[in-house]
Chains A and B, each alone.
Chain A
């Protein structure tokens, strides 16, 4: 596809459940980022991948959050034992990596934890 895609667009879950959010970056982009956006706020950085490895995971709030990118393309953000405070829009972005700093965002996944 032409842009970053994310699935699902909406996810409603119950407190304590496990969720997976998927991101398909722009083809050829080696860098991939996850951000979280709470209502009325700017996106906040969670984790950054260069290729298959997590180069910076300093934004992950705690060990309930984990992300993978096993083949250097699609990435999955995994949240265990969800809490109501995890409710937010989870945004994925990709960039060409070393050939440019521009980050292009997907439409996001709105996660609601009841």
Chain B
């Protein structure tokens, strides 16, 4: 089955600086890569996603890059704000399979 590794497990960033979280996956048949933000006591919230036919996607302060050859993708958050503090999860979906396989999460703390 698919294996997803996520790094780092914790990340502290000064407010206004950038944060980068990276995930690697094992199955080259994977074709969909979403990122979720989870605040304490809440369900995961989809913040950005990318498909395998695209190398980069940006939405305001958030961007995702995908390297299919190396089988890794990254979340980039610029101009971080205190409300960006949360746990972030990457996920992967394989072709022909509807389930998402999640990484282990990154706890991001923005230091005011």
Contact B105 A105 (CB under 8 A): no
What is the minimal beta-carbon distance from A108 to any residue of chain B, in angstroms? 5
Contact B45 A105 (CB under 8 A): yes
How big is chain A's contact interface, by range?
Answer: 20 to 34
1/0 per residue, CB under 8 A from A, across B1-44: the answer is 00000100000000000000000000000001010100001111
Report the bound CA distance from A56 to B101 in whole Å.
14
Measured between beta carbons, the chain A residues less than 8 angstroms from B43 are 4, 91, 105-108
Tell yes or no: B104 within 8 A of A by CB: yes
Known: A91-B43, A106-B43. A42 touches B103 (CB 8 A): yes
Known: A91-B43, A108-B43. A103 touches B105 (CB 8 A): no
Measured between beta carbons, the chain B residues less than 8 angstroms from A4 are 43
Known: A105-B45, A107-B42, A108-B43. A42 touches B32 (CB 8 A): no
Contact A31 B104 (CB under 8 A): no
Number of A-B pairs whose CB atoms are under 8 Å?
Answer: 58
* Among candidates A41, A56, A105, residue contacting B99 with C-beta atoms closer than 8 Å: A56
Report the bound CA distance from A43 to B56 in whole Å.
25
Contact B98 A31 (CB under 8 A): yes
1/0 per residue, CB under 8 A from A, across B92-112: the answer is 010001111111110000000
Tell yes or no: B46 within 8 A of A by CB: yes
Measured between beta carbons, the chain B residues less than 8 angstroms from A102 are 34, 46, 49
1/0 per residue, CB under 8 A from B, across A83-114: the answer is 00000000100000000011111111000000
Tell yes or no: B73 within 8 A of A by CB: no
Tell yes or no: A61 within 8 A of B by CB: no
Tell yes or no: A1 within 8 A of B by CB: no
Report the bound CA distance from A101 to B99 in whole Å.
10
Report the bound CA distance from A42 to B100 in whole Å.
10
